[in-house]
Amino acid sequence: MVKTIIPPTLSPSEKLALLYILKNGPTYAYYLSHKKEKILETEKTANTALNALAHRGLLEKKKTDDKRKRKDYYLTLKGLCTAFSYFTAPNKNWEKIENITEKWGHLLPLLNKFNLFKKYDLEDYFKKSLIQEASNYVIFQATRHKNDADNILNSFIQRSMHRANADYMVKWNRVLHEDAELRQKTKWRLELDTKTTEQHLGELTRRLSQVFPKLEQLNPDWDAIRTVELNLQQANICDSGLVFDSSEHHSPSK
């Protein structure tokens, strides 16, 4: 089952300000309260919300490039992940994903992979996994290094590789074939898992030895890759716990 995700408690004004910055970029109190379509009713309300978000580490103040003394509020990685914890899939917020990626992809490079996952019909999986990993980061952020986007990516990869579904894994392999950086990080993650866990060691080793060499070829033998994944589907690989459409989801044998 999907774990219940409980977003951090924010006031209505704080949530409005946070999601506005997520989708539209850095801003300041006067703008939120004086634009044609007001986001917040008064400048005082906007200031209170922005300062509260900054105090919690979700925003940070930075000087603008112009000569004015004004400082804009920017998302931090924690703020970005907190904002995503309010998303659901499907959700109209996702309509702004390209804008979000353009403005905040430098904080969380995983966002830049969205279109590639969409290309191979893994859009819903990407959204659900991103929400889950972003929420986990917010919950456990105090025990991690500041702005640890790599940790989120590693958790995303680990979740993605522990799925007992051949059709899904073939799509994931197509993503890896096209994205050399993600492929290398995934390979490194699997190699690390083989050294740190005895669980599913045979399956991990087979994926490394039988799938990854093919993915590094210019024109992989996709039929051969599918055969390997069908064989692995029968193994007791732990599932990530995310619930998908019944036509996609395959429950591993107990």
pLDDT in tens, 65-101: 666 678 899 999 999 999 988 876 556 677 778 889 9
By percentage, how much of the chain surpasses pLDDT 90?
47
What is d(CA 23, CA 96) in angstroms, rounded to the nearest whole number? Answer: 6
Structure tokens at 141: 């952020």
SS3 238: coil
C-alpha Rg value of the chain to the nearest Å: 21
Residue-by-residue DSSP string for 141-172: GGGS-TT-HHHHHHHHHHHHHS---HHHHHHH
This prediction has a pTM of 0.81
pLDDT digits (tens, 9 = 90+) for 195-247: 877 766 777 788 899 999 999 999 999 999 999 988 888 765 544 444 334 33
Quote the mean pLDDT of the chain.
Answer: 82
Q: pLDDT value at position 91?
A: 64
3-state helix, strand, coil in the chain (%, to 5): 60, 5, 35
pLDDT digits (tens, 9 = 90+) for 11-56: 999 999 999 999 999 999 989 998 878 889 899 999 999 999 999 9
SS3 1: coil
Q: pLDDT value at position 246?
A: 34
Contact 59, 21 (CB under 8 A): yes
